[in-house]
Structures are given as structure tokens and as C-alpha cells.
A and B are shown apart, each in its own frame.
Chain A
Amino acid sequence: GQNIDQPTEMTATEGAIVQINCTYQTSGFNGLFWYQQHAGEAPTFLSYNVLDGLEEKGRFSSFLSRSKGYSYLLLKELQMKDSASYLCAVRDGNTDKLIFGTGTRLQVFP
């Protein structure tokens, strides 16, 4: 079967660091994507991992372990504008379809 799990909600304080976890089970694997989505808007691309390890892009980093079926998105120096939903998506290697998790709603407080 295909399954992607993320926490439903998280809260954090402005200036802090937060880690959003994603675990997945798919029949095949061909890359993992993280998207940010503000309420009522389309998702915007944040990061892509296909090999194990850490990808860093400014305040955002993403980590992948294929053997564990696990990824996390790390957000540093949190800002109020980071309050949004964060979607984990896995590309199924057999069908080439992108399978989305239900998203993690992050609220940043002053």
C-alpha cells in the first residue's frame, strides 16, 4: 500500500527551530518533495531529496533516509510568515505519480 504520515499540527515561537517529520511507505520511490501552502493558496516548492542526506537551502533544510522511509523538514530562525501548512510528497517509482501527505499545519507565535 501507499501511506505518508505527518503530524497534523505543530506550534513554535518566532526565532526558534522546528522539525517536521514525514514517514512514508510506497511501492516504489523516486524522490521526496516538501511544499509550503498558505491558507487558500497553491503549494509552493521548498525542497527535493532523492539521495540520502541533508539538503540545505537558506533557513530551510530537508533530510532523507530511504532505508527508514523517513524525511524531515527543518525550519530555522522562524518568522511569523512561516505559519502555513507543510506538505510532504513522494514520487512513486512505479507509477511516477506524486503522493501527498495530509500536511502539517505550523503556527508561529510571537
Chain B
Amino acid sequence: DGGITQSPKYLFRKEGQNVTLSCEQNLNHDAMYWYRQDPGQGLRLIYYSQIVNDFQKGDIAEGYSVSREKKESFPLTVTSAQKNPTAFYLCASIPGNRNQPQHFGDGTRLSIL
């Protein structure tokens, strides 16, 4: 079945550690997005990529990094510079027709040890 797979479902980070969240899609979608959601809040855009080997900062990119070496994959690294990383992270993708809704992965919940 086609879809978006995020892993892991739960992740714990130690102080000073970088961690990478995986996002893979087999929908052949061009654009991919990373969002952060804090309790009782909406989704805030971290980074997005509209084509392979290209990506743009969203509204809260500081402390995060991404890569888009393959169309199917858009991993997000939460660096040690992100001082408050505890949140629910959602990956989404969209086909070339922008009138279509975003498809979301099941999310990764990141906590600090």
C-alpha cells in the first residue's frame, strides 16, 4: 500500500545529542514537509522540499537540518542546538497538483532524557 512511513514512533534524546527522524514515502510525491506540534497547538513548519536536492526553511528551522537526496526520503535531524526538542513531529507529502491535500505520516514523539 502507498503511504508515508515515519520512524521511530518514539525517540529519546540525551543532552548534546543529535537525533535523526526518518520519513519515507512511496506515493511518488514531489513535495515533502516537516512539522512540529506542541501540546494543544497547531502545526508549525520546520522545513520543506519541493524537488530532490532542494529544500527551504520553514517558520521554525533553527536547530534542525534536513536533506533530500532521494525523492522518497526526507530525514530530519534535531541538533543539539535545538534546546526544546520535546514535541510531536509530523512528516507530510503532496503530489504535483497543489490542490490535493497533504498526506501525513503517523508521527514521531521526541522526548528529552
Which residue numbers of A lie inside 8 Å of B, CB to CB? 4, 8, 30-31, 33, 35, 40-45, 48, 50, 87, 89, 91, 96-103, 105
Q: How far is the CA of A79 from the CA of B40 in the complex (A)?
A: 22
Interface residues of B (CB under 8 A from A): 33, 35, 40-45, 48, 50, 58, 88, 90, 98-99, 101-102, 104-107, 109
Contact status of A33 and B42, CB under 8 A, knowing A42-B106, A42-B107 = no
Nearest-neighbour CB distance to chain A for B35, whole angstroms, equals: 8
Instruction: Given A42-B104, A45-B101, check contact A101 B48 (CB 8 Å).
Output: no
- The answer to whether residues A103 and B41 also contact, given A42-B90, A43-B104 and a CB cut-off of 8 A, is yes
Residue of B nearest to A103 (CB): B42
Partner among B35, B42, B48, B90 whose Cβ is within 8 Å of the Cβ of A102: B42
Give the chain B neighbours of A89 by CB distance below 8 A. 43
